[in-house]
Structure 1
Amino acid sequence: MSEQDHSGPRYTLWQLVAYMLGLGTWGFGGPVALVGFMYRDLVEHRRWISEADYKEGMALAQLMPGPLAAQLAIYLGYVHFRTWGATLVGLAFVIPSFLMVVAIGAAYVAFGGIAWMQAVFYGVGAAVIGIIAMSAYKLTTKNVGRDKLLWVIFVASAAVTVITKSEVIWLFLGAGVLVWLLRAPPKLGGRLNSLALAAPIAGAAAVSAVDWPRLVEIGAFFAYAGSFVFGSGLAIVPFLYGGVVQDHHWLNDRQFVDAVAVAMITPGPVVITTAFIGYLVAGFWGAVVAAMGTFVPCYLLTILPAPYFKKHGKKPGIVAFVDGVTAAAIGAITGAVIVIGQRSITDWVTAALALATVVALWRFKKLPEPVTVAVAAVAGLVLYPLAHPT
Structure 2
Amino acid sequence: MHHPLYTLWQLTIYFLRLGALGFGGPVALVGYMHRDLVGERQWITEEDYKEGLALAQLAPGPLAAQLAIYLGYVHYRITGATLVGIAFVLPSFLMVVGLGWAYIHFGGLPWMQSVFYGVGAAVIGIIVMSTKKLTQKSVGKDKLLWTIYLILAAVTVITESEIAWLFIAAGILVWLLRAPPAWLRSGKLNAAGLTQIPLTFALLGNVELSLLSQIAVFFAKAGAFVFGSGLAIVPFLYGGVVTVHHWLNDKQFVDAVAVAMITPGPVVITVGFIGYLVAGLPGATVAALATFLPCYLFTVIPAPYFKKYGKIPAVLAFVDGITAAAIGAIAGSVIVIAKRSIIDMPTALIALTTIVLLWKFKKLQEPMVVAVAAICGLLIFPLLSH
Which residue identity does 1:168 align to in structure 2? Answer: I
Q: Which residue of 2 aligns with 1:374?
A: 371
Provide the C-alpha distance between the structure 1 equivalents of 2:234 and 2:37, rounded to a whole number of angstroms.
Answer: 29
| Residues 349, 387 of structure 1: 8 Å contact kept | no
Shift of 1:40: 2.4
C-alpha deviation, 1:87, in angstroms: 0.8
Identity of aligned residues (%): 68
CA distance in 1, matches of 2:70, 2:250: 35
Query: Which of residues 42, 65, 76 is equivalent to 1:81?
Result: 76
Give the match for residue 66 of structure 1.
61
Q: Which residue of 1 aligns with 2:102?
A: 107
Question: Cα offset for 1:191?
Answer: 6.9
> CA contact under 8 A between 2:179 and 2:317: conserved in structure 1?
yes
1:109-188 equivalences under 5 Å are 109-188=104-183
Q: Aligned match of 2:311 in 300, 310, 314? A: 314
Secondary structure of the residue aligned to 2:357 is: helix
What whole-Å deviation, never above 9, does each CA across 1:133-189 have from its counterpart, x for those lacking one? Answer: 222222222211221111111111111111111111111111111111111112349
Gaps of 5+ in 1: none
Please state whether the residue corresponding to 1:272 is helix, strand or coil.
Answer: helix
Q: How many residues end up aligned between the 2 structures?
A: 381
Is the Cα–Cα contact under 8 Å of residues 238 and 332 in structure 1 kept in the other structure? no
Q: Please tell me whether the aligned partners of residues 254 and 344 of structure 1 are also in contact (alpha carbons under 8 angstroms).
A: no
Cα deviation, residue 364, structure 1? 1.6
1:247 aligns with 2:244: yes
The match for 1:385 among 360, 382, 385 is 382
Partner of 1:267: 264
Give, in whole Å, the separation in 1 of the partners of 2:202 and 2:155: 27
Kindly state the Cα deviation for residue 294 of structure 1 after the two structures are TM-superposed: 0.9
Which residue does 2:93 correspond to in 1?
98
For the residues of structure 2 that align with 1:206 and 1:261, how far apart are their CA atoms? 29
- CA distance 1:130–1:40, shift in 2 (3 Å): closer
- The 2-side partners of 1:252 and 1:216 are apart by 21
1:190-229 → structure 2 map (5 Å cutoff): 202=197, 209=204, 211=207, 212-229=209-226
CA distance 1:185–1:66, change in 2 (3 Å): same
Q: Quick check: 2:61–2:228 contact (8 Å CA) kept in 1?
A: yes
The match for 2:331 is 334
The answer on whether the counterparts of 1:24 and 1:97 sit within 8 Å (CA) in structure 2 is: yes
Distance verdict in 2 for CA 1:64–1:208, change over 3 Å: farther
For residues 282 and 265 of structure 1, the distance between their equivalents in structure 2, rounded to whole angstroms, comes to 22
The residue aligned with 1:278 is 275
Aligned equivalent of 1:35: 30
**RMSD of equivalent CA atoms:** 2.4
Structure 1 380/310 Cα, relative in aligned 2: closer, same or farther at 3 Å? same
Task: Give the alignment's TM-score, normalised by structure 2.
Answer: 0.93
Q: Which residue of 2 aligns with 1:323?
A: 320
* Aligned-residue offset at 1:18: 1.7
- Give 1:298's aligned residue: 295
Asked whether the 8 Å contact 2:179–2:313 carries over to 1, the reply is yes
Q: Structure 1 residue 26: deviation in Å?
A: 1.8
Separation in 2, partners of 1:26, 1:190:
50
TM-score where L is the length of structure 1: 0.92
Render the CA deviation track for 1:22-44: whole Å, top value 9, x for unaligned.
22112222222222222222223
* Contiguous gaps of at least 5 residues in structure 2: none
Could you tell me how far 1:380 is from its partner in structure 2? 0.8
Worse-superposed segment, 178-187 or 299-308? 178-187
Structure 2 residue matching 1:55: 3-state secondary structure:
helix
